[in-house]
Structure formats: structure tokens, C-alpha cells
Structure 1
Amino acid sequence: MIRKMYMKRFIYFFVFFLLLTLSLFFVMNRLSSKTLEENLIVASKNQLDYVKGILDGIMYEANMYGVQFAADSDVRFYQSQVIELSNYDSQMKKNDIVDRLRQTLLSSRSIESIGIYWKSEETFLSTNNTLEARLPFKDVDQRGWQIIDESLYYFAVYPYIQKPGQTEPAQYVVGVKLNTEYLKSLLKKAVNNDSSNAFFLFDHQQLWSQSEVDNDLLKAVTNMLSPQTEATLKYDYHTNSDDYYVLSRYIEPIDTYLITYTRTNDFLQPLDRSRKVFLASILAVLTLGLIVIFTFYRNYYRNIRLLEKKFLQVEQGNHNTRITENTDKEFYSLFRSFNHMVAEIQDLFVSLKTETELRRSAELQQLQAQINPHFLYNSLFFIMSVAQFSPDSVMRMSKHLAEYYRYLTKLDRHEVTLESELQFAEHFLVIMALSKKMEYNIDLPPELASLPLMPLIIQPVVENAIQHGIEGQQGAHQVTIDVKQEEDLIKIRVSDDGKGLTMDEIRMLEARLESSASPEGTRGVGLWNVNQRLKNTYGELSGLQFSTNEWGGLSVLLLIHNPTEKGEILCDY
């Protein structure tokens, strides 16, 4: 894997490593924050349960005292006894009940006062025998908890037990008033530090708290409350700058919520500081890594890219390219070797080009040697035979024979056009028409006349049409050459009305032409040569095709693939 490590992968690995580190730290930080918050919540729930237990005990105590005095026989028969007793004895009876009420308060810090009120006689006995203490008792008709003037009361009425389906009016009411300050002091036990606060919320309206409660938080918490008696519920509250978790416990007997809320920012500040320090360290590592990568890029990667670019230029055929940059640094030896290699390649291509040109010239000369002797002999014999009785024929033969050989002497330039190649074929046809009865026709569209073409590619096919077509069929005398362009193909068709070939003979001929080696002997060498030259120069889509024409003779189609926009034939011969 290390051997396959290159610059891009190294950068990707470095970035991946940083992202992985940041992700792991983020996850760890989140887990730490979550664990700390969960521990805080568990501690707050335990404190809330503890205060709830104390409050349950206080309510049970108040309930017990209310029931105790509501069912007490001295209280129950007090009014009837007062009527029968003297003033002194009735006062002593009254003092005895009040003393018992006061003795109850001595053993409880949560109860502020206890009072008994007889509705019909409007008699009131209490540990706090004031007019204000009497008022809450007047409108009480049933037992239970009530909040009156921001104080919490438990009322018990006599008769304490009502018969089913019957409601008897209350004879007297026993009221136990809880100590409000003591209840508020319990809120301290429900919080864990200065970042927390607790309060009682009665009937979604009245609030008991030792410190001020934010109005927005109180409104949000009030909308979220749910009266589930057996569960401590948790809510989340967020502001623009602070985050809180809120715990609530519903106290059903007094229809009250005991609520605590804690600002988590103070607890998470150490984690935030460590996160900032870590992020600063990661940024420092990232900066250092980028500096190292940039240095590596300047000293190594850029030179490697330069070398790759130069190799691409050499691959595209630019053998004059050289590396002149950064030759005095670590890559000096490598760049010098590259320049030496390209120079050697350039010299090799020059030698190869010279050798190729010499080989082509030799091949062309060999082809000319194959064409010239036999044709020249026949032409000279024709001139000799008609010199005495047809001077005009001699002049025409001499003219076209001269033009024919003058064309051959210029082929060392390897630059001919389609028009000049057809003119060369026409000279050959004229010479042949003078020595035998024969007609010919050449059709060349003007727009294709100047297209470049490899030399001696049409004349061998025309010569083959005469020697093996017309001369092999009695009465045959016609040869046509027509040129067309269809999309990216140039089509040159040479047709004769000779004896032609059968389909089997055509298939055998095509098989011989597709062979990599030339046919044995001299028969078929010219067509094989033309077919191979077409394919080698213009690609595999080019070559010769054979078919039977409407005269019954043979048509030879020269296909030249021409994939250019302007229709110019690519010729590097």
C-alpha cells in the first residue's frame, strides 16, 4: 500500500485523518457533554424525589392533624358542653383545646397554625386567634387542600364521613396552615448549585420561589407541563445564549408542580474550553501539514507533473521538447536523462524517416520497372508498324508516350493529385486505344480534381482491366472510370466489358488480396500491391472491391477513406 501511495492519495489521506480526528473528538465531546448532562439530570431527579418525599410527609402530617382534631370527642361536643358549663369551666375547656393545638405545633416545623371553626356559632379556636386567621375558614364546605392568600391550608370538616348519596352540612372545620417559609426553604434542597433554581407552581398561576424566575422560561415551562403523578418529566429550554434542562414533578393532592431548572452552560464550560484548545491544535497541525504539502508540491510533485507533461508531448510527436526548468535541483539528473533520451529519439526518427523515404523510392522504382519495359516494347513496336502508312498515329502515340514517361519521371516528389493521376491513366488508355479497337470514358467531378493522392494507384487497375478483361473477351472494347464522394469515402470505379469473373473467382481474388504476402509469380501482384498501399496509407476501411457490372464485365472499386472536414484525402506517401 505504501508503494502505491502518491501525492493525491497522500493529500486525501492527510485530510481524511484530520476529518477523522475532528469527528472522533466531536463524538467524544458530545458523549462527554451528554454523560455530564445525564449525571446532572440524575442528581437533580434524586434531589427532586427527596424534596417530594419531605413534602409528602408534611402533607401526611397536616392531613393526620386535621382528621385527628375533626374526630376528637372534645372538639365534637365542645359547643354542647359550653352551654351547660359555667363561664369558668367553659373557658377552661376552651383553653384545654387551644393548648392541645399548640402542643401539636411544638413537634412540627412545617405547620404554622391550626384552627377550629364552628360555622353555626361562628366560634373560632386557633393557635393564631386573630381576625385575619378566622377569615379563610368561613367559606370552607369540604375537606381538602386550598391556597388562600398565598398560604397552603388543609381543611377537615365534621361530619368527616358522609353517608352515600347524602351530604350533610359541616358542623365545624379544622384547618391546618402550612408554614410557607418552610416550604420555600425546601426548594434549596431541590437544587444542586447556583446555576439551578426551583419553585412551586400552583394551578398554573401562583408561584413560590426563593429567587426570581425568568418570565419567558416560566411561560415556556407552563406550556410544556403534563400532570403525570408517578414520573419526573424532563424538558429542554433554549435561548439565544443559554441552554436549560427543566424537571417537573406533579403533586396531585395539592394540584401543584415542583419544578427545577438548571443552566447547563456553566457545567459545560470546561468542555468548551478543552474543545477550543483542541480545535486550535488541529488548525495548527492543518496549517503545518499544508505548509509541508506545499513544500513537497513545489520541490517534487510539480517536477513530476512537468516530467509527465513532457512525456505526453513526446508521445504526441513533439520530439523537439526539452526540460529547461529546475535543472539545478534534486531532479537535475532525471531531467538531463530525459533530454538525452528525447534527443536520441529525435535522431532515431530522423534516421527512420530517411530510411523510409529511401525504401519508398526503391519500391516506386521497382514498380516503375515492372510497368515500363513491357509497355514500352509494345508501344515502340506499334510505332514501327504504322510509321510508313500513318504518321498521324505515330505522332499521337509519341505524344502520349512522352507524357506518360514524363509523369513517371516526376514521381520522386510523391505529390500528385486525383486529376493528374487520371490524366496519367488517360495517356495509357489513349496509347492502348491506338494499338487496338477500344473506347474509354473518364468522369471526374471538378470539386475533387485537386485532391492529393498517392501515385500509380489507378493505372495498374486500368492496365489489369485491359489485359485480363478486354483482351480475354472477343468484341470487348469499353473501359470507364468514374469518381464519386459519399460522406467520408472517395470511390473510384474502373469498369470494363471483358469476360469478367464469377462470384467464386471474385471471392478467391479477394482472399489473395487480403493475404499478408504477395501472390507467387506475376499474376495478381499489381492488384495486391494497390490494395496493400491503400490500406497502409488510408486505413483498413480503404482497399479494393470487385463486382460484376451491367456489361457482364468486371468493376473494380477503389475505396479511399477520407475522415476530414474539408474532404481532403490524407496522403503521406
Structure 2
Amino acid sequence: MFKWMTMKRFIYFFVLFLLLTLSLFYWLNAISSRTLEDNLIQSSMNQLDYADSILDSVVAESSQAGMQYTVDNRVRLYDHDKKVLDNYDVQMNKNDIHDRMMESVLFSQSIDSLNIYWKTDGDFITTGHDSNIEKLLMDATSQGWQVIDGGLYYFSVSSIMKPSFKPSDIQYVVGIKLKTQALTDLLNKAVNSKSSNAFYLIGENLLTNGTTVEASIVEEVKRTVEANNQTIMKFDYHSKNGDYYILSKYSPEIDTYMVTYTRVSDFLVPLNRTRQVFFTGIAIIFLIGLVVIFTFYRNFYRSVYLLDKKFSQVEQGNYGTRIREGVNKEFDRLFRSFNHMVTQIQSLFSSLKLETELRKTAEFKQLQAQINPHFLYNSLFFIMSAARTSPDSVEQMSKHLAEYYRYNTKLDSREVTFGSELELAKHYLIIMSLCKELEYDIQLPETFETLPIIPLIIQPMVENAIQHGIEGRQGAHQVAIEVRQREEEVQIVIRDDGKGMNSEEIERLLRRIESEHAPAESRGIGLWNVNQRLKNEYGKASGLRFSPNDWGGLTVTAHIQLTQSEV
């Protein structure tokens, strides 16, 4: 009776578990649907905003080109030159204006044609083949964007300065026509799937990328959109073809709406199918589960307990544990898989440890191989030139050069100390100070003298400060090295008074050293190597940071995260 009651309670628990699973799945499915829709909408908004920003840049570029030729001296004085110059010079000026206009069109991906029309005598220069553009320029009386026959034109007018402006005061008109292909290409950037489409609403006209646009959606857009150039307007639309969300962005400069719409129901079909499959699977599992409970009830918990115990041993690092096969025939295959998995994990950890050691050794050997031969050549030439005039300098140079290369060539891949690394940097700075005017300052607290660090971290940063900082600025001669602790990290700060970097150059340098792949060119590979080694050895929070300093140069800071035992 006791066993039957235990079995019955277990069945009740199994049924309750299935009901909870169904409820949880239904809730997760609803959340997944909402999350998927929100992500789709956000993705569409981002792409629409991106396409609109490109459109704004295209419009700004075209407007700027129009204004540029409106105030251009050759264009502005063209009428006057025709009166004072002979026909040949006039034609040469006209050809020069045309060539410059063609150059502007060729270098622009969005301008279809650039045109100038002088209303005073009907003279006309064009880079295109549109037969109607001349008439459009003749009729132009104001400055700005116009939509004509589904095309976008920008007109810039120049008039004789008078207290009150009249159309008759216009001397000439500069007209720019945008490429229709450039506009339709932006529509492809505004869609994110095969279930999405996009179009421009220009007044009552549509401009599409060649795909068919649903007429009902166009009517809904015309009825709903508002001229708001600050935000993206979003509204839902339901039809017999499915559920849609529609996004629109208004461009006030060209009085045009960029519209995208996406059929959400297409993305929810897999979720609905998954839900159906899940409910069917739950029903099958329930029936099979009842059979399994009655068949394997006696042995199930014992085998699970054994497996859990072995997993705990593996979690604690005992990769030599195994389950003796034959304990439970129903679980033999699972036990064999467990034994195989633990064996593979044990082998993997051994291989990983070996590969890690080999990688560190290879990285270190690569750093040693990067010793700059020009540094050695320059040092030897200095010794030759100073051999007769300054024996003391030769002695110092030889001593420090020997110490410098002895340190580099006898290093292995094991950790060294801050003291020995800064001693290497000091040798290098003394050598450089003998060759050129150079002042240096090294500050290392005594507590950091014996603190371990991976080798050849400080030296590449010092070389970078001199080669790319001090040597790039006339009169620069100062280098300062400071080791300090900030909370749970050690900072190695190297400052110079060299040419420095602005914020854009610093941002480009950060992107280069944070890349997963080394720079293709030799410039910057030393800092990339240092940054990657710091992250690999001390964690992702470690690495290099750059900032301007009070000297006008650059400050390079190496952040080294310490473990709790090292702090």
C-alpha cells in the first residue's frame, strides 16, 4: 500500500509538472511573440533611420553642390565675361565650367545631372541628356527642392541684389537632378526581410524599388502619415493578407515620406508550428511517461543519483572518475556516454593546457623576433662616430646596449617582474638619450619591484612613445613612466611630449588594437600585440587606453587586473 501511494503521488507530480510546463511554454511563447515583434520593429526602425540618414546626406550633398555653383566666380561673372572677352575665351570659360560640372557629377553617386541656365541670354550648360531640364530651369523662380514628374530636382537661383526680390531679377539658375536609382537603392537598405517592402510617397506619387506595393497599404499610408521630421511614425494594419506594421519617416527638405511595411504573421508562423508540435509532443510524452514510470521506477532514482554524484565529482575537477558498466542495463548506454565524455574532457584539458603553453611560447618568441634592427644599426653607428671623440659615451652605449640585448635574448616565456621590465626600459632610454636629447623619469614603488608580470610589455610602449611620438614633433624630448595601483588593478602610465593624437586618431588606434586580427601593416602591430597579451593573460578588462596629456603629447595606460590574492 505504501509503495502504491508513493507511485500515485509521483504520478500526480508528473501530471502537475506537465501542466506547469504547458503553462510556462504558453507564457514563453507569448513573450517570444511580443519580443520577436518588438525586435522586428526596432530593426526596421534602425534600418529606416539609417536609410533616411543616407537620404539626408544625399540631399545635403546635392544642395551644397547647387549652392557651390551658384556662388562660383566663373558662373557669376560668365555674363560679364561674354561682353569683354572674345568668342574663343568665352567658349574656353564655358568648357571649363562644363568640365568642372562633369567632374562633380562623376564623383557623386547620387547626382544624375548638373545644369546651369542664364535667363539673361538663354545660354545653357548641362551634363545630362534630359531634354526637359532646360524648360524647367527657364520656369524656375525660387530656390529649393521640387518634385516634378516623380523626379527630385534642386534649383538654386542667383539674382541682382535689390531691396525687393522679383523673379525678373534672376540672372541664372543652377539645377540638380537626383538619380532615381540612387533613391530606389536606399529603399533596399530600409527593408530587413522578404516579408518587408518599402516605397517613397512623394505627394500623391509613388517611387518604388521595382517590387509590387499593396494598394490598400498605400491608401492606409496616405490616410495616416503625418509631417513629423523628428520621429519615425509607426502604426499597425490588419487585412485579409495578414497583420502588418507600417513605419514612415518624413523628409521636410524634399517633402517626401519614406515608408516601410512588414508582414508580422510571416515571422510568427514558425512559433505557431512550434507550439502545435510542442502540445502534440507533450501528449505523447505523457503517455510514454506513464509507461516509463511503471517500468523503470525501481531503478531510475538509483541510476540518476549515481549519475548526479559522478557529475558532481567532474564539476569538482575529478576527471578520472568513471561509472562501472553493467550496474544498470537500461542506463548502460548513458553511462558509456558519460565515461566517453569525461575521457574526452580529460583529453581536451590536457590538449588545451599544452596548446596554451605553446601559444604563449610562440607569442613570446614572436615578440623577441620583433627587436628593431634599425635600433641596433643606429647604436653601432653612434659607437663608431663617438669612438674617438667621446670614449665615455662609447663605454656607456656599449654597456647598456649589451644589457639590453642580453635581457631580450635570454628571456623565456615565464613571468618576469616589474623591476626587471623597467630596468630594460631604462637601458633603452639611456641608449636613446646618448643618441639624441632625451629626458626620462621612471617611478616604480618598492612594493611593485618583485610583482610578477609577463615579459616585454613595457618596452614596446616606450619604443612607440619615442618613435611615433617624440620623433614626430620638433623639440619633443620628455618621457615619463609611472607604475601605480588603482583599486584592483595596476596601471603602467607612459607619457611623452610628442606630436600626440586627436580624439578621432585615438578612436582609430583603439579600433585597430581591439581587432581580433593583427594590422596588415607593420605600424601598430607592437601595441596590438601588447593589448592582446594583456587581455589573454589578465582578462578582458585589461588592455591599453590612450589620452592626451598636459605636455601636448600622448599618454598610454596599460591596465592590468589583479586577482584577489594579488591585491
Give the TM interval when normalised to the shorter protein: 0.3 to 0.5
Normalised TM-score (structure 1): 0.45
